[in-house]
Homo-oligomer: A and B are copies of this chain.
Amino acid sequence: MRCEVVAIGTELLLGQIVDTNSSWIGEQLALAGIDSHFQTKVGDNLDRIVSSIRLALDRSDAVIVCGGLGPTQDDITRDALAQIMGVPLVRDEEVIEKIRAMFEGRGRVMAANNLQQADVPEGATVIDQVGTAPGLICPVGDKVVYAVPGVPSEMEVMVARDIIPDLKRRSGEEAVIVSRVVRTWGIAESTLAEVVGPRLEAMADGGRVTYAFLASGWEGIKVRLTAKAHTVDEATALIEAEDAEIRALLGTLVFGVDDDTMESAVGALLEERGLSVAVAESMTGGMVASRVVDAPGSSDWFRGGVVAYESEVKFDVLGVRRGPVVSAECAEQMADGVRRVLRSDVGLSVTGVAGPAEQEGQPVGTVFLGIALGESTESIELHLGGGSRIRIRQFATISLLDQLRHRLLGLPPVPN
């Protein structure tokens, strides 16, 4: 089974946006055991869209077309598909009603333009919409063209929910692929490759689990394990065994798997130990709090925070003693202060220099983290120079949460 991807949009060719959709789809196809040999980008031009899709259909069994399903006049994927199928477009009343209901749910009126989003090539099947645009399944002889919107969140739902299962059914693929992403923080990609290297060599013959490393900025290095087997149980057992091997090598550098995030890992530990947390932020300016709030169930353990961007706010609101604010002392007093003012069990803090200029004689990238927990308040000094302002803020944010995670791992859970 071969499936190509055709991404549509002049803005992709002009480099106004990067085509991350095709990459994401390529990954899903690979995980489903479906080959993908070509990916094409083409602009909003009917003839060229038609010729690109026809070429892809010649070379492969299926094509996923991404983009050009919106409500504006340059959204012409529907027309291209009707031309390829040799059928007219038919307006689907049921789709119109769904679009209208979606607008009404948001307290808005549907524009006349949106009606064209309900045009469906005769003989095509509608994929239930996520936003305003429905997807399409278009049979062409014994092959198939899928169309999905270019909005990543809508595209991802349709590909995972409808298209991959349909492709698998068509391909009759019996092998099962199970994958797991092991999430790490605090190790460089080259070091990680060295640590895991002997394990990879030991598996070189006959190993049925493959490794892929993906450096992901402030999300850490992701290690993707993929196992192919006859049954889900068998593939899952292979993954479980390999996960245990990695943890033996990496220890607490592993903070979770798959959709776990640093904040969800920290949240689970806080909940287990029955502790609430509050955070005082200078340089990160609310980024730590905002990440924490992303964790499911954060309202059970997150009280809130103080963004003490201006020094006076540190002194006035958090009771920090006047003095240098890029310092261990300031970080410790901020952590104590926010714990006291917000009445939490744990107080966190971050202060430092995100740039562009140095501050108090400290170079860009100098960061002090504070943790007030139980009887002790401590600070950690980091040097995160050599990056942009936002990168320094991001790395300080994740480092603070990771430091808290390590402190919590040293504490016993609350007995039930």
Are B293 and A305 closer than 8 Å at their CB atoms? Answer: no
A1-56 interface with B by 8 A CB criterion: 10-20, 22-28, 30, 36-43, 45, 48, 52, 55
Given A70-B189, A287-B290, A299-B309 in contact, is the A26-B36 Cβ separation under 8 Å? no
Q: Which residues of B contact A212 (CB under 8 A)?
A: 10-11, 14, 16, 74
A193 CB contact (under 8 Å) in B110, B113, B191: B113
A87 to chain B, nearest CB (A): 26
A48 B38 Cβ-Cβ under 8 A? yes
A36 and B43 alpha carbons, distance in the complex (Å): 9
User: Bound complex: CA of A80 vs CA of B73, how far in Å?
Assistant: 40
Q: Contacts of A193 on B, CB cut-off 8 Å? A: 71-73, 111, 113
Smallest CB-CB separation from A41: which chain B residue? B39
Query: Hey, what's the 0/1 contact readout for A298-322 against B, CB within 8 Å counting as 1?
Result: 1100111111111011001100000
A73: which B residues are within 8 A, CB to CB? Answer: 193
Query: What residues on B are CB-neighbors of A244 within 8 Å?
Result: none
**A139 adjacent to chain B (CB < 8 Å):** no
**Which of A227-235, A278-286, A370-378 lies at the binding interface?**
A278-286
Which residues on B sit within 8 Å (CB–CB) of A105? 385-386
Kindly state whether residue A390 has any CB partner on chain B within 8 Å. Answer: yes
CB-based nearest B residue for A108: B188
Partner among B23, B26, B153, B304 whose Cβ is within 8 Å of the Cβ of A309 = B304
> Is A288 in contact with chain B by the CB < 8 A criterion?
yes
The answer, yes or no, to whether A407 is at the interface (CB within 8 Å) is no
Chain B nearest CB: distance from A213 CB in Å? 6
Q: In angstroms, how far is the closest chain B Cβ from the Cβ of A181?
A: 8
Contact A111 B194 (CB under 8 A): yes
A337 to chain B, nearest CB (A): 12
Give per-residue flags for A198-213: 1 if the beta carbon is below 8 A from chain B beta carbons, else 0: 0000000000000011
Q: Tell me if A294 counts as interface (CB < 8 A to partner B).
A: yes
What chain B residues lie within 8 Å of A23 (beta carbons)? 12, 15, 17-19
Measured in the bound complex, the distance between the Cα atoms of B13 and A312 in whole Å is: 52
What residues on B are CB-neighbors of A194 within 8 Å?
111-113
A310 touches B317 (CB 8 A): no
- CB-contacts of A170-204 with B (<8 A): 188-191, 193-194
A-B contact pairs, 6 of them (CB 8 A): A13-B37, A14-B36, A18-B23, A106-B383, A289-B307, A293-B393
Pairs of residues from A and B, 10 with the lowest C-beta to C-beta distance, nearest first: A285-B293, A15-B27, A286-B286, A286-B289, A111-B190, A286-B290, A305-B307, A15-B26, A15-B23, A39-B41
